[in-house]
Amino acid sequence: MSEQVTWQEKVAAVGWPFWAGVVFFFWVIIGLVWLIEYVGNWLIDENQLPVKEIVVHGTQNYVVKKDVINALESQMQQSFFTLDVNQAQLHLESLAWVYSASVRKEWPNRLKIYLTEQKPVAHWNGDFFINEFGDVFQAEQDRLLQPLSWLYGPEGDEKSALNTYTQLAELMKLYDIDMTELSLSERHALSITLANGVKLRLGREDWLNRSKRFLQHYQMLMQKHELAYVDLRYDTGFAIGVKHENNK
């Protein structure tokens, strides 16, 4: 007849070393959980791992250091590990003079930024600029490095106006003539103003050939008249308007 083993006897049979191991394992788990929580809190504490250095690369003609610092102010309240470089990039690209930005972290406390600035080619409709890609943006006009021509036209015609301006400016340069203004009407009639104040009315069609027609007679016209405008909206020839004529 087998003897019945009591619960107490089973516990006694296991022995104290086993239970000591269980207790030790239990405290190890508690210690690990506490350590993980402590390290996690330490990593997100900006006072423990702050971003101490910002390095900016790329041409900086229009963007100043203060712009970058202000744009990243909210990000700089975070630690090095919790700082979101994608958010930092969005904040930088919201700056008026920034075309694009890339941001990356560099251990242990550096933020490296590469900026591509907007490159204004001309003013657009008074309050805006147009860049080399025909994109319109608004920015502080007092940061311009040099005077720009003024382009005017209907909304949505920015790229067409820029393309026309570029072609005409290159043509005028062959004759050492500068343009200061180009205007497209709602019906896409084109007129330009030269640096000497003379306005050319080119109409909606064949404006390149009409400009060449004017340039063939430019020197002669300037010698004989004080021009106000030249109307080239004819199949052949042109009409002129003068500021005043010498009475002889």
**Mean pLDDT, rounded, of the chain:** 85
List the CATH code of the domain at 120-242: 3.40.50.11690
Q: What is the residue whose two structure tokens read 């959980």? A: 33
- 187-213 mean pLDDT: 94
Give 117's pLDDT tier (boundaries 50, 70, 90): very high
Per-residue confidence at 81, pLDDT binned at 50, 70, 90? confident
Answer whether residue 147 shows pLDDT above 70. Answer: yes
pLDDT band of residue 52 (cuts 50, 70, 90) is confident
In whole angstroms, give the CA distance from residue 240 to residue 179. Answer: 18
Residue 70 CB neighbour total at 10 angstroms: 12
Tell me how far apart the alpha carbons of residues 113 and 227 are, in angstroms, rounded to a whole number.
Answer: 52
Q: Is residue 108 pLDDT above 90, yes or no?
A: no
pLDDT of residue 212: 94
Q: What is the pTM of this model?
A: 0.77
Neighbours of 26 (CB within 10 A): 10
Burial 162-176 (b: 16+ CB within 10 A, else e): bebbeebbeebeeee
Mean pLDDT check: name the lowest of 46-50, 58-62, 75-79: 46-50
**Domain range summary for the chain, segments of one domain joined by +:** 53-117, 120-242
Per-residue confidence (pLDDT) for residue 113, from 0 to 100: 95
Q: Residue 4: its pLDDT value, please?
A: 56
pLDDT of 135 higher than 50: yes
Query: Which pLDDT value is given to residue 49?
Result: 73
- Domain at 53-117, CATH from 3.40.366.10, 3.30.1490.20, 1.10.8.50, 3.10.20.310: 3.10.20.310
Indicate if the pLDDT at residue 82 is higher than 80: yes
Residues above pLDDT 70, as percent of the chain:
79
Question: What is residue 109's predicted lDDT score, i.e. its pLDDT?
Answer: 86
Task: Give the integer Cα–Cα distance in Å for 229 and 117.
Answer: 38
